[in-house]
Amino acid sequence: MRAALAAWASDGRPQGYAVLADRQDGTVVRCGTAVAKAHAEDADREALAVRMRIAGHPGLAGVLLPPLRPASGSVHGRPASLWPYGAPVDPERPADAPWEEAGRLLAALHRTPPEGLPGPVPPMRGPAKLARALDRLAQAERLGTGPDPDDVRAVRTAAGSLPAWARGEAAAPADGALCHGDLHLGQLVRYPARDGAWLLIDVDDLGLGAPAWDLARPAAWYAAGLLDTATWLRFLDAYRAAGGPAAGPPGGDPWPELDLAARALTVQTAALALAKAAEGCRRLDEGERLMVDACARIAALPADLESEPPP
């Protein structure tokens, strides 16, 4: 797949490449100044085509990285797309992580009217990713060295506190904003590489939905103790100052709007952590343990109370 993907990116010519990612949901290789991605076999090709056209739309210039080719291709039966290479966030320099830029880009995305964009704009796939994480946890439970039953119970009880649409088991509320669907720092690159502006990448989950979902991962990290208060506020304040609609007015309490999505991302992260640890026959690392423990706290809440962030 990797070599075939590189050859497709270079119109059939042999091409050196570097593997950037090789996961169940996609294989990504870099070929010089281009990046080719083979998407999941079961990807919705029509929705992917719309998402790629949205990424290249002039109304989102400066927000989303546009593709090099306007349409997807096919490599070994999997849909494939081609993008310019952008420099990712440096994991060795966490203090330089572009949290403010992430907040501003999300605000710009959420403020973009869906009318006038290529369409029909598909739904944002955040809840579908949570459903897949819970399915993967169920598969891991069937392993001989499956996850701890108490941990699984905590994650499933926390999942049960969410509405069915947040678990991907029912249609999401109508309307919504244009959302990324899978926001984390790995979804930002500088383009042109090294000194260009920060842009959002990876439109696989892009679509209409609850904009709070895009703030949910950093909110969940903050609530679990993985993200310090100063960094959380850098992100949140930048989003609010740029007119982001999902966290209330500047200076107000964002948690009433973010709580549900943050709990959903906590469940998703914990379910994947348990599954991956079981698949690798290893213990949870410190960050994974914190997310599972956060699920236990959610599971212990009275049914009529919502979780709150740490003081």
Q: Which pLDDT band, with edges at 50, 70 and 90, does 125 fall under?
A: very high
Contact at 8 Å (CB) between 199 and 191?
Answer: yes
pTM of the model: 0.92
Burial class (CB in 10 A: 0-12, 13-18, 19+), 11: exposed
Over range 127-144, report the average pLDDT: 93
Mean pLDDT of 23-36: 92
Q: Give 198's strand partners.
A: 190
Same topology for domains 1-84 and 85-306, yes or no? no
CATH topology (fold) of 85-306? Aminoglycoside 3'-phosphotransferase; Chain: A, domain 2 (3.90.1200)
Domain 1-84 sits in CATH 3.30.200.20 = yes
- What are the residue ranges spanned by the domains of the chain? 1-84, 85-306
Residue 257, CB half-sphere, CA atoms under 13 Å: how many?
Answer: 17
Segment 96-125 mean pLDDT: 96
% of residues, the chain, pLDDT over 90: 83
- Digit-coded pLDDT (tens) for 255-264: 999 999 999 9
242, 117, 210, 71: CA torsion to nearest 10? -110
Question: Cis ω on the peptide bond leading into residue 58 (within 30° of 0)?
Answer: no
Q: What is the pLDDT of residue 12?
A: 78
Q: What is the per-residue pLDDT across 149-160, written as a single tens digit (0 to 9) for each? A: 999 999 999 999
User: Average pLDDT, stretch 287-306?
Assistant: 86
pLDDT in tens, 225-266: 999 999 999 999 999 999 999 999 988 999 999 999 999 999
- pLDDT band at residue 199 using 50, 70 and 90 as cut-offs: very high
- CA distance linking residue 203 with residue 114, whole number of Å: 15
More confident residue, 131 or 195: 131
